[in-house]
Amino acid sequence: MANSQTPLFIVSTGRSGSTMLSELLSLHPDVLSLSELFNALHPLSFRKDPVDGPNLWSVLSEPRPRHTAWLRLMERGLAIDEFRYPLASALRFRETGIPPLLAMTLPLLTEDPDGLHEELGVFVQSLPEDRIHTQYLRVFQWLCTRLGRRFWCERSGASLGLVHPLSHFFPTAKFIHVFRDGREFAVSASRFPLMRMGMIDTIFKQRFGSAPYLTPTYQAPEDLPPAWRGLVPESFDVDVFQRFELPIEPIGMAWSEMIAVGLKLLEKVPAERVLHVRYESMLDAPQAELQRIVRFMDPSLDDPSWLALAAGRVRKNPPKWVSLPTDERARLESACAPGMELLRRLS
């Protein structure tokens, strides 16, 4: 049976400190911090409900085309930190595709992700048909037991948009919402490979009707400008990709929209089950903020030894948006203003 723990999800717009928080929580002797699980499984996470074990394992293990596409780019030198499986070993999945939990989640939990994946498959395929959320709770409990932890949390980057399905399928869930100054988000996102890929995908879809990074079989359009050839997988060039100019103002506008939509979704969750955490506050007062977080998760997790260890791992991160050219900075501030105002109301 699934355990009685209240489901706990860490959500954010991405580039807001949720990865740091997940890594700090993973240092806790009692916490299983599941990173990028629902991101890895998207868009099939809740495809069937109810679902039996074999069909659930299909959801958990069916390769996602975007991960295979990432492999092609990583072979050409692109660093994708969220892809946690060792690249040298991952290349054997060029043709078949890599199981999503191997790509992103299990390598953070064990030095033998393949062995854990195989064990998990045996367990999942033995499950009788049940509601999808109950099946996920069984999986999380199995991982806790297998890895000697008693409390799990799940964090996926840019997961504010997942609040709706998560609150629907896990109606008693708690949410930790990690947020950041939108101007800093925009600067960070403009440099972050996966978000750059998403923005370039959008540009290609608008101009050519298809996106280069969602499938390993992408064919470049005949009218692709020569300067853009280095962006597509078949002729990918890391330098071209990193230098490709992405205006920062639309990133700020997209952030404001994500914040507006995400906060509306979180407002539908009872207030006592939502904790808003400001990234900058974690940097300024890590011990106080981390203690507030674990007490919200479960008071029994309050552990002075872990708190000292985790707080000691936090490093300052001076703002970078202030170094932008004056006119660009002004446009970015204007783009982020709606989201910033909504967040100010939280304090």
Task: Indicate the domain borders of the chain.
Answer: 1-347
> 347: pLDDT confidence band, cut at 50, 70 and 90?
confident
Q: Is the pLDDT of residue 2 over 70?
A: no
The predicted structure's pLDDT at residue 251: 98
User: Positive or negative, the Cα torsion across 263, 269, 272, 275?
Assistant: negative
The predicted structure's pLDDT at residue 193: 98
> 220: pLDDT confidence band, cut at 50, 70 and 90?
very high
d(CA 330, CA 336): 10
Name the CATH code of domain 1-347 (choices 3.30.300, 1.10.3470, 3.40.50, 3.40.1010).
3.40.50
d(CA 199, CA 196): 5
Q: Model pTM greater than 0.75? A: yes
Average pLDDT in the 198-203 region? 96
Q: Is the pLDDT of residue 201 over 60?
A: yes
Pairing of strands 8-11, 174-179: parallel
Q: Are 33 and 25 in contact (CB under 8 A)?
A: yes
Residue 308, phi-psi category: left (phi > 0), alpha (psi -120 to 50), beta (remainder): alpha
The predicted structure's pLDDT at residue 3: 60
Q: Is the pLDDT of residue 124 over 50?
A: yes
Q: Is the pLDDT of residue 95 over 60?
A: yes
The predicted structure's pLDDT at residue 69: 93
38, 41, 44, 47: CA torsion to nearest 10: -60
Read off the pLDDT of residues 290-326 as tens digits, 9 standing for 90 and up.
999 999 999 999 999 999 999 999 999 999 999 999 9
- Going by C-beta distance under 8 Å and a sequence separation of 6 or more, which residues neighbour residue 283? 314, 315, 316, 317
Q: Is the pLDDT of residue 245 over 80?
A: yes
Tell me if the bond preceding 226 is cis, omega within 30° of 0.
Answer: no
> 1: pLDDT confidence band, cut at 50, 70 and 90?
very low
Read off the pLDDT of residues 259-281 as tens digits, 9 standing for 90 and up.
999 999 999 999 999 999 999 99
Average pLDDT in the 183-193 region? 98
Q: What is the mean pLDDT of the chain?
A: 96
Sheet with 31-35, strands from edge to edge, namely 31-35, 151-155, 8-11, 174-179, 274-278
Q: Are 179 and 190 in contact (CB under 8 A)?
A: no
Q: Is the pLDDT of residue 341 over 90?
A: yes
Q: Is the pLDDT of residue 24 over 70?
A: yes
Read off the pLDDT of residues 128-181 as tens digits, 9 standing for 90 and up.
999 999 999 999 999 999 999 999 999 999 999 999 999 999 999 999 999 999
Q: Are 38 and 156 in contact (CB under 8 A)?
A: yes
Q: Is the pLDDT of residue 67 over 80?
A: yes
Average pLDDT in the 327-338 region? 98
